[in-house]
Structure 1
Amino acid sequence: MKNASRIVTMLFGVLAALAGLEHGIGEALQGNVRPGGLMILSWPDSSFFAILGGEPAMTVVPNLLVSGILTILMSLVLLTWVVAFVHRRHGGWVLLAICAVLLLVGGGFGPPALGVIVGLAALRIHSSHAWAARAPRLRRLLASTWPWMLGCGVVAWLLLMPGMSLLAVSLGVDSAWLVTTTILCAFGTLLLSIFTGFARDARPRTPAATAAARLSRGLPRGTSSGHARASRSPASCTCRPRS
């Protein structure tokens, strides 16, 4: 199992699930009412979420109470999946499907977007990441920065929610520029956490694995593929005329 990639997908997947859960609670609390359209606000009358625009979302469900309940259920499914099952075969594809449903039932836009990026990363959990293994110095450099990128990413997402709302309520901070910058930092550090996590999980190919790969291609040990192709080409053969 790739430890760094698994930790990244689990941590950020949990954050996506908790953010989706918050959307669902806000929608359910609005009661048995019909939304005014496809676009809704999860917390339209809450001063705590005012700095985030009332937490916009979309829903295809014609009832906010039902939409909130479905969002809560899908968030719990997402939480369970990223903690226990995302590393399994096709786990990333299932995570992408969960995020698509979460988007449609009222889970906001940030949580599904975060979940989609995590799902795409989960598709590469079991990859050998040969690009990093071919450059040992670069791999070591990127791998050494992974804990810092991961920590900065988690802090950035927590600063976005609930950090922005806490700053607005306690200190009166109300800056659209600050919210935009925090969103960019959150997604940027997420991508860096994934990239450096892949580098940390990459392992250089051992001599035994190299020999096995050569044998699987029909090459003798210690023979390069280019030399083998040249030795099998007609131009390299010297044919004697038949007497």
Structure 2
Amino acid sequence: MQLFLSLLGLGSLANIAHAGLGALNFPGGLPFLFNGAALINHPNWTSQHPRDSTLEGANFFSYVTDKGYLSFGWWLKPSSDTDYSHCKPDSSDFMWYEWSDKMYGCDDEGCKAHVVNYLVANNSEPSFETDYVFGVANLAAPELGSLSKSYFDEKQGASAVATRHVLSTAATTASDCCKALKTLRGVQNKYKIKLDFELVDICPQQKTVDSWHQGQIPLGGGCDLDGEFGHELR
């Protein structure tokens, strides 16, 4: 069973029961856009030995709000020689897309969501549809990156850990933020995904803007109307 845990990239949990994502303590606040990488563990429930487990990797981009998220990404072999160079924010060859259609709430242990995942190669029906619980593992300084944990809330469900690199807070990642935003908007439009939120421009500006290219319309962030990086001087 293939699966993916986009919300592994989410931030610290507040000790508030039955709260939504808006009650969580996200560095930089909500919404935000990030690039994540996950390692998913499918235990062998027959042998119960770690060496018999199946590991699966993923690289993904995700737009997160207090009402849910939308993601696209790739399945990857979890090894030292894996080529992930094609996992780019403006790539059109992503393997799957995923979104949350329901947030159940949060407590001391984490948050729970219902998620739907489709493979691009065969999207006539979901690749999987399930509930899972996700939280943070606060083990080191933020400079080392954030580490998250998650598990499928079902019998013999898989578990995973992931890292998150936020693209929507620093000028150095403004271009990648806009590219990912454009791709996410394309995913929503192409596959007619109904979200409880809008994919607004939350990307930072790379530099002070004296003037815009003719025809470019700022959305209040660092991208133009099409989600392209728009803040280049004439």
State TM-score, norm by structure 2: 0.24
Bigger proportion of residues as strand: 2
Q: Which has the higher contact order (CA 8 A, sep 6+)?
A: 1
State TM-score, norm by structure 1: 0.24
Structure number with bigger Rg? 1
